[in-house]
Amino acid sequence: MELRVLGACPLDCPDTCSWVVTVRDGEAVSLRGNRDHPFTRGALCVKVNRYLEHMNADDRILYPMKRIGPKGAGEFERISWDEALDIIADRLTRIVAEHGGEAIWPYQGTGTLGYIQGEMGEAGRRFWNVLGASRHDLNICSRAGGLGVKLAQGTHGGLDPEMFAQAKLILLWGTNTLTSGHHLWKFIQDADAHVVAIDPIRTRTAEQADEHLPIRPGTDAALALSLLHVVLEEGAEDRDYIENHTIGWDEFKKEIESFPPAKVAEITGLPEEQIRALGRRLAHTRPTAIRATMGMQRHEGGGSALRALACIPGVTGDWRHPGGGLSYMTAAWMPLSIDARYDLLPKPVRTLTMTRLADQLDESVKCLWVYAANPMGSTSDQNRIRARMAREDLFTVVMEQFPTDTVDYADLVLPATMQPEHADIHSGYGHMYVVWNEPAIAPAGECLSTSETFRRIARHMGLTEPSLYDSDLDLAAQLLDGSGIDLAELRKQGWARVEIGQPFADGFPTPSGRLEFATDRAVEAGLPRVATYVPSYTARTRRGSRLALITPASHTFLNTIFANNPELLRRSGGPTIVLNPADAAERGLADGQPVRVYNRVGEIRAYVEISDKVRPGVAATAKGMWPKLSPDGANPNALIEERDADLGRGATYHDNFVQVAPA
């Protein structure tokens, strides 16, 4: 008997592809993109095309395991679920009794973005609230930029990506669309538009664009203001839109006037005439669509950078034109919500910050519970995290699918299901669809879903709060309550479109109801009242021969997911550091030469790739390699200092200096 089961990719990508799993005699025999989905249209990426192979890999974790060697050694023995639950119940009960619930840190990541099993929804939060555990601030990905956009327009929601097909000018700002959200490219190709990539690296996307501006890292807000300076010189600001739909114009106009192209050419490293030419094109081209994603906000001025970009359509009036405006995170438009039941907390609790794991994983934390995350591979200041996780008195539980570096430091490892083995609801943060994932096959080995794991632990601990035992379908119904989406129809079709019309046609969700170029809310957040340029660390302290490090997304891995797949590892080419020919010559380095890449917090080994696709003064190495599969047991996060962006304590992965020398 053969079945076709509708599902969705769970991974941390804007596109959340709809897929179809073919099941024959209880076994998944193929996984293909769903051609009926209006946005993803049947195409999967090079990574997810190997999903079934990945799911059936020999190194998949299938049973509960208990540590039998030193932390970090990865030495375990198989145990039963009953023994694992006994250990968990005993340790958590003692920790709460002796140290209080706040001694537990539930460290959840973006390994799955599901609303049932992942970071978008409930996924254990009610359980942790009953225990009074510390709250986990998942601020690592897009927080700074999202808050910056909100300061201007009240929400980080924006332009429907499908509307890019109507644009006449498209600015792909700090986003490598063909690697990190490739379905948008089809809509860009459908547009009769001039496409500009603004990126320090000549990426796959930049190579396909009509124009590439190789900007100095962390100077995007200065460029945005300078483009608007040219718009004003051209007399092309939409004065009617400014008067009727914005606030703070006089202050913002003065700020724009302080960023003329000649000055900004020095800041950004771009030729003045290139800035002027793009400014003139922006001034006279409607509609203009701007796509910005997470990469350009991962520096100390990242929130301010997105705030400045969000102000551009307010000056040009692009929000009044279909196909015009800014697209950052469409997830803000999704009508899904679930009550995490913070009322279950026995008392107010502290918040621990994902980007500050090395700082905050101190003696006050007695239990670190990691799920949908791989902090040893994905979080800043890798060497300090390794030392923190080696504490023998830290009870560490990791729910995982594969033996990551984080698993090596666990006391208990709990086997987790993969996407075709459980139910979930997803929404893209780069499209306008809610997508259903129907379980296609039984879980492998003794794997349990995240939701079922927490139900079993709660039952084993004798917890009586009824909401802890809601089934996955109960949770799905709660998520959709009030959304206008019918669960039965969603399960049948596999997806449902969320209609938003022309964004902000009826005003902005700000205190004034207008787009706010200047606001006291920014002052309260520690920023200037008016949108402006806040330099990154590397832009602010640039001197000497140090190289600004960028760690872009890999084309073959998704964060650290798939980085243990032998074929994708082969395709990745191993750890490389890309240097401009001038920087390589200055250091006497040859193409392919093994080198040390180092700074004051760490060191990695890599091979030099000499290319003019990076601008002088910049070094680029892709993120995602597992440390233990890398030379000397370290990946690029060993070079990333634990510093904060200007809003939301966002991560600063693209805001560090390194030196490169022969190995």
**Whether residue 374 sits in one domain with residue 318:** no
Angle subtended at Cα 333 by Cα 494 and Cα 509, rounded to the nearest 5 degrees? 165
In a domain, 520, yes or no: no
Residue 123, pLDDT score = 78
Four-point Cα dihedral 562, 565, 570, 573, nearest 10: 30
For 613, other C-beta atoms within 10 Å of its C-beta total 19
**220, 278 contact by CB (below 8 A):** no
Report the pLDDT value the prediction gives residue 543, as an integer from 0 to 100: 84
Residues 464 and 579 in one domain: no
Residues constituting the chain: 663
Domain boundary pick from 475, 497, 519: 497
Instruction: Quickly count helices (H) and strands (E) in the chain.
Output: 22, 27
Confidence of residue 120 (pLDDT cuts 50, 70, 90): confident
Please indicate, yes or no, if residue 527 is contained in any of the structural domains.
no
CB 216 within 8 A of CB 269: yes
Q: Are residues 149 and 136 in the same domain?
A: no
Residue 250 has what DSSP assignment?
Answer: H
Q: Considering only CA atoms, which of 315, 282, 312 is closest in space to residue 149? A: 312
Burial of 235 (0-12, 13-18, 19+ CB in 10 A): exposed
340 falls within a domain: no
* pLDDT score at 337: 82
Predicted local confidence at residue 45, as pLDDT: 96
- Give the CA distances from residue 141 to residues 144, 145, 651, in Å, rounded to whole numbers and listed in that order: 8, 9, 7
User: CA-to-CA distance for 280 and 259, rounded, in angstroms?
Assistant: 15
Tokens of 354: 């994902």
DSSP H or E segment with residue 221: helix 220-233
- Return d(Cα 566, Cα 579) in angstroms, integer: 26
Among residues 281, 296, 328, the one where a domain terminates is: 328
Check residue 162 and give its pLDDT. Answer: 98
State how many domains the chain has.
Answer: 4
Which CATH number does the domain housing residue 413 bear? 3.40.50.740
One domain, residues 424 and 478: yes
Mean pLDDT of 495-509: 96
- Beta bridge partners of residue 105, listed in sequence order: 368
Q: Residue 264 and residue 279: Cα distance in Å, rounded?
A: 12
Are the C-beta atoms of residues 516 and 313 closer than 8 Å to each other?
Answer: no
Over residues 149-177, the pLDDT tens digits come to: 999 999 999 999 999 999 999 999 999 99
pLDDT of residue 340: 79
Check residue 283 and give its pLDDT.
Answer: 99
- Lowest-confidence pick of 25-34, 49-58, 338-347: 338-347
Instruction: State residue 423's pLDDT score.
Output: 98
Kindly state the average pLDDT of the residues 376-403.
98
pLDDT value for 341 = 87
Tell me: do 175 and 299 sit in the same domain: yes
| pLDDT 10s digits, 442-475 | 999 999 999 999 999 999 999 999 999 999 999 9
Pair 326, 158: CB distance under 8 Å: yes
Poorest-pLDDT segment among 119-123, 143-147, 242-246, 249-253: 119-123
Q: Are 374 and 368 in contact (CB under 8 A)?
A: no
Say yes or no to pLDDT of 122 above 90.
no
**Same-domain check for residues 196 and 254:** yes
| pLDDT value of position 544 | 85
Judge whether residue 317 has pLDDT over 80. Answer: yes
d(CA 336, CA 427): 9
Residue 89 sits in which domain range?
65-140+351-497
- Indicate the residue among 34, 55, 76 that finishes a domain: 55
- Cis peptide bond prior to 575, omega within 30° of 0: no
**What pLDDT score was predicted for residue 541?**
93
Q: What's the mean pLDDT in 177-198?
A: 97
pLDDT (0 to 100) of residue 389? 98
Distance separating the N- and C-terminal Cα atoms of the chain: 57
Same domain, 285 and 362: no
Record the pTM: 0.97
Residue-wise pLDDT tens digits, 514-555: 999 999 999 999 999 999 999 999 999 988 889 999 999 999
Asked whether residue 284 falls in the same domain as residue 190, the answer is yes
pLDDT: which is higher, 390 or 573: 390
Residue 482 and residue 402 in one domain = yes
Residue 567 belongs to a domain with what CATH number?
2.40.40.20
Q: Could you tell me if residue 504 is inside a domain?
A: no
Instruction: Identify the pLDDT of residue 1.
Output: 84
295, 434: one domain: no
Residues 390 and 401 in one domain: yes
In a domain, 508, yes or no: no
Contact between residue 38 and residue 21 where contact means Cβ atoms under 8 Å apart? no
pLDDT value of residue 386:
97
Asked if residue 357 and residue 489 are part of one domain, the reply reads: yes
The tokens for 638 are 């060993």
CA atoms within 13 A on the CB side of 473: 7
Tell me if 51 sits within 8 A of 31, measured CB to CB.
yes
3-state secondary structure of 188: helix
Q: Does residue 121 surpass a pLDDT of 90?
A: no
Residues 6+ apart with CB under 8 A from 123: 108, 114, 116, 117, 371, 372, 450, 451, 454
Number of neighbours of residue 136 by Cβ within 10 angstroms: 22
For residue 569, the surrounding DSSP H or E stretch is helix 566-572
Q: Which DSSP string corresponds to 108-171? A: E-SS---TTTSTTS-TTHHHHHHHTPPEEE--SSSHHHHHHHHHHHSSS----GGGGGG-SEEE
Task: Give residue 193's Cα distance to chain centre.
Answer: 28
Residue 33 lies in a domain: yes
Structure confidence at residue 339 (pLDDT): 79
Q: Give the mean model confidence (pLDDT) for residues 385-396.
A: 98
H/E element, 459: helix 450-460
Identify whether 526 is part of a domain.
Answer: no
SS3 283: helix
Strand ranges inside 320-390, DSSP E: 325-327, 351-353, 367-371
pLDDT greater than 80 at residue 33: yes
Mean pLDDT computed over 272-281: 99
The answer to whether position 362 is within a domain reads yes
Q: Percent of the chain beyond pLDDT 90?
A: 97
| CATH number of the domain where residue 212 is located | 3.40.228.10
Give the SS3 label for residue 653: coil
CATH number at residue 25: 2.20.25.90
Is residue 338 predicted with pLDDT exceeding 80? no
